[in-house]
Amino acid sequence: MKIRSACKRVVSPVAYCALSIKAGTRDEAPEYNGLAHLTEHMLFKGTEKRSSRSINNVLEKEGGELNAYTTKEEIVLCSTVLNEDLPKAVDLLAELAFTSTFPQKELEKELDVIYDEIISYKDSPAESIYDHFETLLFKGHPLEKAILGTKRSLKHVTSSVLKDFLSQNFTPDNMFFTVVGNIGEEKFRHLVEKSTNKYFKDPSGEVVKAEICHEVEKDMDMERENLELEKGKYLAVQGERFTTELSKRNHQAHCIIGCTAYSYYSGWKRIALALLTNILGGPASGSRLNMVLREKHALVYNIEATYTPYSDTGIFSIYFGCDKSLVSKCMELTYRELEKIVETPLSERELKNAKKQFLGQLFISQDNAEAQSLAMGKSLMVYDKIYPFGQTRKQIEDITAEQLQEVAKEILAKERLSELIYR
């Protein structure tokens, strides 16, 4: 049995360590929606040898940090420590993952905390509308479930249910240990193996080995991605188009336009859609939708486009908030911009500038050791290898205006787009 790991050595007094587990909301039984997120919370509430208070003190007393998050496809435990305290961080993450006890008293208290989190989320329509949209878009598919779950779906969760979820999903071959810090590969391998075997006891008595994965040196291997593309799996989830409007007691209207999109395994099309999303509604003030709806017409304060790939599909969406009387006008202008990008290819200069801006954002975001550690774990989980950033850069630079237009026609055609409006 192996636990895949990756280590990037940097000259810094600080180390960033992450343990990524391939288990998320989509892996829950429907009657226990929210179980993955609850599991993440409960990992900090006690292990076989530590109380919740003791867990928090292990790294915090050294000035370090301990955190976690849950997505629809993963649970991630992460820590930031001084390099000298990295052995403590690796050991603690393994202890949490393999020996958490989920005490019933702590569970009852934490459920109240999560109920409050759910209520708080519902009070933020700009956030909750995304979950609602995905629930409608992925109806009948495991991705339809909200990460937080509901009070109704969580109230029957017991300590035994949590332990079953842990035993089924938190196994070494389903985990990925990554670190960015001033440590060599062999030392990190030893830390991972020592901590994993200390806390994980395989029924057969097999010893877990840490496999250190390196960046692939050859050109990005697209064989697996192209295979999935040929199968059509990248758009596997394609429900009926919908237009849903709900009356809300908000001062502002909140709107989402979107559709299913490419999975992680869709080759160059995934890269092209990411670039296209950035052109339309990325964080830069010069994005097309921001320039038209905010700068030119002053109709919105915020408008953004997002693209999130999953293992078997993805989601593209555009969100904006506006005065309730302006929804129709904003919709009209948004569809007009989408039609332009579908019908008219970018000029050579526009494409060059778009690539430059997108690459700049990516370089800046990756100039962060914590982001690098998390990205390595994600890459191992999704592709079973780590691609150097230079290959991603080459993929972006190789995208043509014709390819962008092909993707625009495939994803952004009006007949594919659904709408959710809170008014």
Return mean pLDDT, the chain: 92
Task: State mean pLDDT over 202-225.
Answer: 74
Confidence at residue 218, expressed as pLDDT on a 0 to 100 scale: 56
Confidence at residue 302, expressed as pLDDT on a 0 to 100 scale: 94
Confidence at residue 63, expressed as pLDDT on a 0 to 100 scale: 95
236: pLDDT strictly greater than 90: no
pLDDT tens-digit series, residues 263-301: 998 889 999 999 999 999 999 899 999 999 999 999 999
Task: State mean pLDDT over 32-51.
Answer: 97
142: pLDDT strictly greater than 80: yes
Torsion angles phi and psi, residue 62, rounded to 5: -95, 5
Task: State mean pLDDT over 12-30.
Answer: 96
Confidence at residue 231, expressed as pLDDT on a 0 to 100 scale: 46
Task: State mean pLDDT over 232-236.
Answer: 50
Q: Distance between CA atoms of 103 and 46, rounded to whole angstroms? A: 7
End-to-end CA distance of the chain: 53
Percent of the chain scored above 90 by pLDDT?
84
Task: State mean pLDDT over 342-350.
Answer: 96
| Buried b or exposed e, range 337-351, using 16+ CB within 10 angstroms | bbeebbeebbeeeeb
Confidence at residue 222, expressed as pLDDT on a 0 to 100 scale: 47
**Residues 110, 45: contact at Cβ < 8 Å?**
yes
Q: Distance between CA atoms of 423 and 415, rounded to whole angstroms? A: 23
Confidence at residue 98, expressed as pLDDT on a 0 to 100 scale: 97
Confidence at residue 215, expressed as pLDDT on a 0 to 100 scale: 85
pLDDT band at 194 (very low <50, low <70, confident <90, very high): very high
Q: For residue 164, count CB atoms less than 10 angstroms from its CB and return exposed for 0-12, middle for 13-18, buried for 19 or more.
A: middle
Confidence at residue 246, expressed as pLDDT on a 0 to 100 scale: 95
**Contact residues for 304 (Cβ-Cβ < 8 A; gap 6+):** 281, 282, 283, 289, 318, 319, 320
Of 328, 324, 282, nearest to 303 by C-alpha is 282
Confidence at residue 221, expressed as pLDDT on a 0 to 100 scale: 47
Q: Distance between CA atoms of 284 and 290, rounded to whole angstroms? A: 8
pLDDT band at 390 (very low <50, low <70, confident <90, very high): confident
pLDDT band at 5 (very low <50, low <70, confident <90, very high): very high
Of 401, 12, 61, nearest to 183 by C-alpha is 12
Task: State mean pLDDT over 95-107.
Answer: 96
DSSP symbols for 1-59: -EEEEEEEE-S-SEEEEEEEES--GGGS-GGGTTHHHHHHHHTTSBBSS-BHHHHHHHH
Long-range Cβ contact pairs of 162-169 (< 8 A, separation 24 or more): 162/35, 162/38, 162/39, 162/42, 162/102, 162/107, 163/102, 165/23, 165/28, 165/32, 165/35, 165/36, 165/39, 166/39, 166/100, 166/102, 169/21, 169/22, 169/23, 169/27
User: Which of the residue ranges 40-44, 213-217, 369-373, 380-384 would you say has the lowest mean pLDDT?
Assistant: 213-217
355: pLDDT strictly greater than 70: yes
Sign of the CA dihedral 106, 110, 111, 113?
A: positive
Residue with tokens 């029957």: 156
Q: Give the pairing of strands 75-82 and 14-21.
A: antiparallel
331: pLDDT strictly greater than 90: yes
Residue of 203 and 252 predicted with greater confidence: 252
229: pLDDT strictly greater than 70: no
Confidence at residue 84, expressed as pLDDT on a 0 to 100 scale: 96
Edge-to-edge order in the sheet of strand 418-422: 243-246, 418-422, 252-261, 314-323, 300-309
Confidence at residue 237, expressed as pLDDT on a 0 to 100 scale: 52
Of 308, 331, 336, nearest to 320 by C-alpha is 331
pLDDT band at 391 (very low <50, low <70, confident <90, very high): confident
Confidence at residue 296, expressed as pLDDT on a 0 to 100 scale: 97
CA distances from 112 to 70, 149, 150 (A): 18, 13, 12
Q: Give the pairing of strands 2-9 and 175-181.
A: parallel
The pair of three-digit structure tokens given for residue 210, joined into one six-digit string: 């840490």
Q: Distance between CA atoms of 123 and 140, rounded to whole angstroms? A: 26
235: pLDDT strictly greater than 70: no
Domains of the chain: 2-212 (3.30.830.10), 223-422 (3.30.830.10)
**Residues 34, 114: contact at Cβ < 8 Å?**
yes
Task: State mean pLDDT over 216-224.
Answer: 54
pLDDT tens-digit series, residues 408-418: 999 999 999 99
